[in-house]
Structure 1
Amino acid sequence: MKRIVITTGGTGGHIYPALVTAEGLRADGWEVLFVGRFGPARDRLVSAGFEVEEIPARGFVSKGFVERLRASGDLLSGIGAARGLLKRLHVRGVLGFGGYASVATILAARSLGIKTMLHEQNVKPGLANRILGRIVRSVAITFRESARYFPSGKTVWSGYPLRPLSRASSREEACRAFSLEPALRTLLVFGGSQGAQAINEALMNMVSAFSLGEGWQVLHATGRGKSEGVSAYYKACGIPACVVEHISDMAAAYAVADVVVARSGAGTVTELGVLGIPAVLVPYPFAGGHQRENARVLEQLHTAEIIEEKDLKGGILRDKIFSVLRKVSSRTEAQKALQKEIRLDAVTRLVDEVSRVFGF
């Protein structure tokens, strides 16, 4: 039976690529089960039709002695729970997408002689994947630069698994969906799955003190509980804007965007690369440097500018927006440059690698 466990944590950066890959594996005839620590993301997995099992897990990084002791206890409990699940499920292999819950599940699989592999989303791997990369059979990587963090000969460059973005509506249709004007240039702003207050504040400062000028409008996803204040601010400044807490249809949002201001998670960087949209990226400062390394992929190809959050002020942000627009004369040119660094068929490559490693 082609049965596989995917193990990961519950943040958007882990869940999104794991879910897209799971759907690709299911289409290829695999039965996919999720094991990990998922929090609110559990409902998303269940609604997609996947069986979900949770095990104890918590992080070790930046914790005091007591918390580290508790995390160690959870790791041991998680390994025990995962061993029991894997024995019962009779799986062919375990595929990890990072997060602390994946450590327990991969270690449990290894102890039972079950084949294992990883997918690393970021240029710079997190602690969990750096540890696990030494013991798994294969590590699929999003960016070629990641190969240096793993044992020689163990990596395969798969890319980041995305849902197709080509089904997006036309710019005119997308503008109507967001009540925007097709004739105006559009600045798309978002801060990841949870929003980013620092980006919200910088945009408000920019539009009040350093206007973008005429002919611009804004589509801004603020994060939960922040849209009302930001919307009122744009209105007071006379800036045409659609302000929402969260954008569910990112394909439509990208269809209206002339330039993007966003965090630099691996998924966002890949999407911007696939579509060739110029961007100003603000790496999340508490992610161990992962997002800055991701952003550098686009910066080195001259399709993005980077601002550290500590330097995020309205005037600097405005200058960076117009700087990257000058560098990228067209999406077509940007896409051609990025095709050498961004895999467009990551799901297919991952499914093929799973079949190779796990014996089908």
Structure 2
Amino acid sequence: MSFAPSGAGRPYVLAAGGTGGHMVPAHVLAEELRARGHGVHLVTDTRGLRFPGLFDGVERTVVDSGSVARSGLMSLPAVALSVLRGLSAARSLFRQLRPRAVIGFGGYPALPGLLAAVSMGLPSLIHEQNAALGRVNRLLAPRVRAIATSYPQVRRMEAAWAGKTTLTGNPVRAAVIATRDVPFVADSPRLRLLVTGGSQGATVLNSIVPAAVAQLPAVIRARLDVVHQGRDEDAAAMQAAYAAAGVSASIRAYFGDLPAEMARAHMVVARAGASTVAELTVAGRPAVLVPLPIAADDHQTDNARAMAGTGGAILIPQPQFTADRLASALTAWLGDPQALAAAAAAARSLGRPDAGARLADLVLATGDPA
């Protein structure tokens, strides 16, 4: 599947797909490379085509890929066959494109393209968005020329790879970077709590957060506005719970402009996906992070721990995520403007708004010259 050409000459190929956590940083890199006058080509899977507003005007090729984690061990032969088909298709594509470099963003959709690149001797890089190296990136790390990381310390990184590893940060969209210019006013007359659990909401957040808000001191509840991303089927119960607590709440299934909501927030309750943490730290917004327990290799806990380590987040594992525990965490910061301001500054200190530019610099330095 192809679209209008995105630049002249030999392109840079980006291999990404599956989730927004892989696609968003790849999109930001694509925009940065195109702004510098370079061509870009996206290699993805069918799931990588479902994200509106990403890779507009970029040529795209869909290749087969498979995931044992997603499909189970019983499907291993079918997964292997899918990867081999994707590898063959990627090799054919690369013989035609002669890319200057191939950049992978982890996840199984990146595997065929990166395997093709290393087998053909093409310059190759991987970018790791999380604070723990993912399975596909662990497989590729010994074979690629460069590794870009989003955190200074990344679990499962081998010391032997240190010489080719560069800390770039996790690229975020321009709209997120713009939130960095919005002042954080900890002693505002109104306090705003943003709750986001992804496009489908998170059931545990939908039940626990309203109950926790009801336990907040009256002086905090009187000043509090809640904007909560929740599923339509939960909205009525959530609205009733907030109303019973005397708190104004807006329940939405989808945020058309999440960066704007983040910029207006004083605190955020969220999962700890790579993009979420990157956006929170660039915006400088303190958070209560509840890692998704089933995330591969528990990488969301690593992400949350990194942000909590600066003082910019409070990490609550899901088994310990109760209304009492959350109410205590919210009270500690919303009830103390000095503590809230310090948490916001700590979150901001971890942000890397120049991550897209830094990653592009590494790509250009690693790839073949023009």
Instruction: Name the TM-score, length of structure 2 as normaliser.
Output: 0.86
Contact map agreement 1:280 1:307 (CA 8 A) in 2 = yes
Alignment counterpart, residue 167 of structure 2, candidates 146, 157, 167:
157
- Residues 2 and 29 (structure 1 numbering): CA distance in 2 closer, same or farther, change over 3 Å? farther
The alignment status of 1:167 with 2:178, answered yes or no, reads yes
* Distance across 2 between alignment mates of 1:244 and 1:333: 30
What is the letter of the counterpart of residue 200 of structure 1?
Answer: N
Alignment counterpart, residue 221 of structure 1, candidates 213, 224, 229:
229
1:139 counterpart SS class: strand
1:241-280 pair list within 5 angstroms: 241-280=249-288
1:176 alignment counterpart: none
Contact map agreement 2:285 2:347 (CA 8 A) in 1 = no
1:298-313 pair list within 5 angstroms: 298-313=307-322
1:112 alignment counterpart: 120
Displacement of 1:234: 2.8
2:106 alignment counterpart: 98
1:44 counterpart SS class: coil
1:233-248 pair list within 5 angstroms: 233-248=241-256
- Residues 216 and 43 (structure 1 numbering): CA distance in 2 closer, same or farther, change over 3 Å? closer
2:256 counterpart SS class: coil
- Residues 313 and 84 (structure 1 numbering): CA distance in 2 closer, same or farther, change over 3 Å? same
The alignment status of 1:188 with 2:199, answered yes or no, reads no
* Distance across 2 between alignment mates of 1:161 and 1:192: 19
What is the letter of the counterpart of residue 210 of structure 2?
Answer: M
* Distance across 1 between alignment mates of 2:298 and 2:308: 15
* Distance across 2 between alignment mates of 1:45 and 1:272: 21
1:198 alignment counterpart: 204
Which stretch of structure 1 is more off in the superposition, 19-28 or 324-333? Answer: 324-333
- Residues 269 and 308 (structure 1 numbering): CA distance in 2 closer, same or farther, change over 3 Å? same
Q: What percent identity do the matched residue pairs reach?
A: 34
1:66-77 pair list within 5 angstroms: 66-77=74-85
Report Cα offsets for 1:310-357 as digits up to 9, x if no partner.
222211111122234578726764565456643231111111111100
Alignment counterpart, residue 23 of structure 2, candidates 15, 30, 35:
15
1:219 counterpart SS class: strand
The alignment status of 1:121 with 2:129, answered yes or no, reads yes
2:11 alignment counterpart: 3
1:178 alignment counterpart: none
Instruction: Name the TM-score, length of structure 1 as normaliser.
Output: 0.88
2:178 counterpart SS class: coil
Structure 2: gaps (5+ residues): 1-8
Displacement of 1:308: 1.1
What is the letter of the counterpart of residue 164 of structure 2?
Answer: K
Contact map agreement 2:222 2:246 (CA 8 A) in 1 = no
What is the letter of the counterpart of residue 155 of structure 1?
Answer: T
The alignment status of 1:355 with 2:364, answered yes or no, reads yes
Displacement of 1:144: 0.7
* Distance across 1 between alignment mates of 2:21 and 2:354: 19
Displacement of 1:224: 6.5
What is the letter of the counterpart of residue 39 of structure 1?
Answer: R
- Residues 318 and 292 (structure 1 numbering): CA distance in 2 closer, same or farther, change over 3 Å? same
Displacement of 1:33: 1.1
Structure 1: gaps (5+ residues): 173-181
Report Cα offsets for 1:59-94 as digits up to 9, x if no partner.
123754421222111111111121122222221111
What is the letter of the counterpart of residue 59 of structure 2?
Answer: E
